[in-house]
Amino acid sequence: MTEPFKIAYIFPGQGSQKVGMGQDLYHSHSLAREIFEEADDALGLPLSRLCFEGPDDELTRTDNVQPAILITSVACLKAAQETANDHLPSPTFVAGHSLGEYTALVAADVLSITDAVRLVQHRGRLMHQAGQKKPGGMIAILGASKEDVEDLCLQSGCTIANINCPGQIVISGGIDNLDKANKLAKAKRIHQIPLRVSGAFHSSLMQSAVDEFGEIVSNTTFQQPTTPIVANVTTQPLDNVAEIKEELLNQLSNCIRWQHSVEYMAQEKVTTFYEIGPGKVLSGLIKRINPALRTLNISSTEEISRLKANSLIAE
């Protein structure tokens, strides 16, 4: 007897945004339109217009881009569910990369869309403020082993912020630390790319954000998850509210271990990952983590329309 396939819904994080995202969904799917309108009302600002029209520098501001990616991702999910009806398989797990973890919480019925967009707007604001208090940044290190990156961090005073896939690790640090890491990497001929972020995210330099965000989280309503959420930090399933709240605080100042989260789900017999939201960043990472895993993207009306022909249904 063939064992039933398992799938996971995964949601992108900061960096996947682009001006125009979600506009086709807004005009073609009533449930998606409701999500954008609810988010605009919750925040008291035309976030949907910023998603659709930009400008880019305003969209990429940390406190704007985080709720913008979240609502676009949720709109993609709702549009897919509206279109596919019973043809869209239910996930065994949900997960998201950093910011995407909040979208996963919406998908698992832990947070309402109103609470989620408010939370991530506060999160973005506090992360930006923490970056101003203790200036820093992030660098993607490409093609190096984890051991080489650990050595680079040891010598420069930086820390590993993201383990995305084999050959792609992101480090965080203060301005001077990053400058030292940059020089060391060049001397060792290690390829690196500075990231467009406003601080040393997922490092101890975010501690001031953690402290204030903890109070906001404690005053937000969380429900028990209907689907296990695979955590960024522990890479294990979160199945109760206390664990979820702890994870949301920990991920601000600790390493996002995306590679290990995907490997955990694969060990649990997940064979297909639906990347739901703007861009295809996570699908690219998964192909490098394990080429045998299947990835499908749901980010536009064109991709969602294929659901009607069942061409996006896992086999």
Of 16, 48, 73, 98, the catalytic one is 98
| Cα dihedral across residues 76, 79, 83, 87: positive or negative | positive
Residue from 202, 260, 261, 283 carrying the catalytic annotation? 202
What whole-number distance in Å separates Cα of residue 269 and Cα of residue 41? 40
202 is catalytic: yes
Q: Is 98 a catalytic residue?
A: yes
Token pair in block for residue 230: 């695979």
Cα–Cα distance list, 49 to 54, 136, 278 (Å): 7, 30, 16
Candidates 134, 175, 173; CA nearest to 157 is 173
Q: Which of 279, 270, 272, 286 is nearest to 303 (CA)?
A: 279
Q: How far apart are the first and last CA of the chain?
A: 15
Of the candidates 129, 104, 147, 121, the residue with the CA atom closest to the CA atom of residue 258: 104
Question: What are the catalytic residues?
Answer: 98, 202
